[in-house]
Amino acid sequence: MNILVLDTIHGGKEIARHLSFLGHTVDGVDVYRGREGISPEEALSGRYDLVAAPVHLDPDHPLMQMEGTAYTTHHEIVATVLAPLHLKQCIEITGARGKTTTAHALAHGMRGPGILHTSTGTYRFPGKELLGKKSITPASLIGAAEEAAAIGGWLIAEESIGVAGAGGLGILTSDLDYRIAGGKKSALAEKKRMLARCRRVLLAPGMGAEAAVPGAVATGEIVSLDGTRCTYAYGAVTGSFDHPLFSITGYRIPLMTAAAALCLLGEDPAALATFPALEARMQVTEEEGRIIVDNANSGACLATTCDAAALARRRAPGRPLTLVVGAESSTVCEGFPFADIAEVIETTAPAAVIIVGDQYRSCTFHDLPVTPLAIVATLGEGAALARSVAGDHAIVLAVKTWR
């Protein structure tokens, strides 16, 4: 086939390379920068059997309007690339929040060799050996899948804005929606459409009707929670376990979802009783006598920031709180809206606030109960400033960022 792959900077180059290995004739266009591949004009003058585009590309782009050409997404064409690998077991996880923690928890409960691919890194199990760190674009799934095939193991993969549909189980961790593709598509609708390609679909707790996928299993059909005790029942897999992390919103839903997924896979979720808190996900440390709660990650939001502040106050009762909050990079899909930051500040009543993100410099702060000490560009700058001015304050790092 003659295939045109759009967007070389979000994995398109890797996809094109593997399609060439499979015998296809492939061209690529750098639709965002124009620095690599052929020009849009040259592509428009060509004839292609198939165009593979990222799900976030504006559907009104001229290269998305070529007559007589079939279109597919990067996610979907990656499934074609993976097919010859005949993966033993592939679980794909998507959703605006909770992907990373769900993936790590699920891998923690799995037996045998396998590969875990997340935004925090790609790991070989057992042993959780770090192999490297890549993005969670569809193209990054290819290398992780090759590693899994090489060891004859399972693959658990976190993916952004959808799934390839290459595996037996797809998991949706959140029904939070936002606009993509120049504001012309619903991210949630695209995720649901691609999840429908999986043989089985699991929905995390609390999903609304808008997240429904035909034939999907709801986590609540398999697990229930009473305080910090999780009880599960699916066929012959029954039991319960206790975990203090169930008291934290950022862990409650991912752990319940992972428990349900393990049941669907025929594994006993009891192993989740030993699942540790992840770095930068409600991680509590003590530094020079003060408590620091690190919740700076790609899923940071209003709810998890309030949870982090509450955790800091439980660990450092009576001490003032310094809050470092914002969004370091505009590339994190749904951002951290200033309205949510304002609500966080009103709800948590910190003694001091440091805002991270240049995009907030034009915002109005006079209505906030606490005037920010500073607006800085990066999490590192915000954390360093907090350490220098906080004294004995507890510090909460709640910045949306890739780590």
Any residues with CB less than 8 A from the CB of 246 and at least 6 apart, and which?
225, 227, 228, 229, 230, 252, 255, 256
Residue 91 CA, distance from chain mean position = 14
Report pLDDT digits (tens) over 85-124: 999 999 999 999 899 999 999 999 999 999 999 999 999 9
Identity of the residue numbered 112:
G
pLDDT at 120: 92
pLDDT at 126: 96
Answer yes or no: do 96 and 216 share one domain: yes
The answer as to whether 207 is a domain residue is yes
User: Which of these three, 274, 304, 321, is where a domain ends?
Assistant: 274
User: Which of these three, 74, 95, 114, is where a domain ends?
Assistant: 74
pLDDT at 76: 97
Tell me the pTM: 0.86
Query: For the chain, what's the residue count?
Result: 403
> What mean pLDDT comes out for the span 250-262?
97
Domain housing 328: 283-400
Answer yes or no: do 92 and 65 share one domain: no
pLDDT at 328: 86
Answer yes or no: do 212 and 106 share one domain: yes
Q: How far, CA to CA in Å, does 81 sit from each of 139, 143, 145?
A: 10, 11, 10
Residue 332: which pLDDT band, with cuts at 50, 70 and 90?
low
CATH number assigned to the domain comprising residue 292: 3.90.190.20
Answer yes or no: do 120 and 231 share one domain: yes
pLDDT at 221: 97
pLDDT at 335: 78
The answer as to whether 112 is a domain residue is yes
| Residue 323, token pair as written in the block | 């809050």
The answer as to whether 237 is a domain residue is yes
- In sequence order, what are the beta bridge partners of 398? 325
Answer yes or no: do 195 and 289 share one domain: no
Residue 299: which pLDDT band, with cuts at 50, 70 and 90?
confident
Residue 279: which pLDDT band, with cuts at 50, 70 and 90?
confident
Using a pLDDT cut of 90, give the percent of the chain over it: 87
pLDDT at 329: 67
The answer as to whether 81 is a domain residue is no
> What mean pLDDT comes out for the span 16-38?
95
CATH number assigned to the domain comprising residue 181: 3.40.1190.10
The answer as to whether 374 is a domain residue is yes
Report pLDDT digits (tens) over 347-382: 999 999 999 999 999 998 988 989 999 999 999 999
- Total domains in the fold of the chain: 3
Answer yes or no: do 98 and 190 share one domain: yes
Any residues with CB less than 8 A from the CB of 83 and at least 6 apart, and which?
166
Answer yes or no: do 259 and 338 share one domain: no
Which of 47, 49, 51, 1 has the alpha carbon at shortest distance from 29?
51
> What mean pLDDT comes out for the span 299-311?
91
Lowest mean pLDDT among 147-161, 170-184, 211-225, 277-291: 277-291
Report pLDDT digits (tens) over 40-76: 999 999 999 999 999 999 999 999 999 999 999 999 9
Q: 90 in helix, strand or coil?
A: strand
pLDDT of 249 > 90? The answer is: no
| Residue 310, token pair as written in the block | 């509450």
Higher pLDDT, 31 or 335: 31
- In sequence order, what are the beta bridge partners of 64? none
The answer as to whether 79 is a domain residue is no
pLDDT at 59: 97
Answer yes or no: do 94 and 49 share one domain: no
User: Which of these three, 274, 303, 331, is where a domain ends?
Assistant: 274
The answer as to whether 320 is a domain residue is yes
Residue 15: which pLDDT band, with cuts at 50, 70 and 90?
very high
Answer yes or no: do 91 and 189 share one domain: yes
pLDDT of 137 > 80? The answer is: yes
pLDDT of 222 > 60? The answer is: yes
The answer as to whether 269 is a domain residue is yes
pLDDT at 119: 92
| Residue 21, token pair as written in the block | 């290995």
CA–CA separation, 90 and 78 (whole Å) = 13
pLDDT at 14: 96
CATH number assigned to the domain comprising residue 33: 3.40.50
- Whose tokens are 């396998």? That residue is 114
Burial 35-46 (b: 16+ CB within 10 A, else e): eebeebeebeee
pLDDT at 72: 98
> What mean pLDDT comes out for the span 326-348?
84
pLDDT at 333: 53
Residue 330: which pLDDT band, with cuts at 50, 70 and 90?
low
Answer yes or no: do 50 and 114 share one domain: no
Answer yes or no: do 207 and 317 share one domain: no
Lowest mean pLDDT among 146-160, 180-194, 294-308: 294-308
pLDDT at 280: 81
pLDDT at 334: 62
Answer yes or no: do 264 and 368 share one domain: no
**Mean pLDDT estimate for the chain:** 94
